[in-house]
Amino acid sequence: MTHVFAKELRGRNITVNAVAPGPVATALFLEGKTQEQIAHFSKLPPLERLGEVEDIASVVAMLVGADAAWVNGQVLRANGGLV
């Protein structure tokens, strides 16, 4: 959808991107999981940890800043290298 919306908004100086986070240590993610499950998810990315809210917020902040003005119609995977 980001690619479609980016094309639909062409000529308006509006960029459309999406952030696809990996496992992030939030209450919603952690709820109902055992410590073993959490440890398993933590070991999946090469960075060997769950993401933090600040990790995702930093990616969003980059995308809305002037340095990302040429990034459009993309899905940015913020997942610690999880493939």
* Chain segment 16-75, per-residue pLDDT in tens: 999 999 999 999 999 999 999 999 999 999 999 999 999 999 999 999 999 999 999 999
Q: Contacts for 36-40 with beta carbons within 8 Å, 24 or more apart?
A: none
Task: Assess whether pLDDT exceeds 90 at residue 83.
Answer: no
Query: Which CATH number is correct for 2-78, 3.40.1390.10, 1.20.58.220, 3.30.300.20, 3.40.50.720?
Result: 3.40.50.720
Domain boundaries, the chain: 2-78
Q: Contacts for 7-12 with beta carbons within 8 Å, 24 or more apart?
A: 7/73
Tokens of 27: 């209450």
pTM listed for this prediction: 0.87
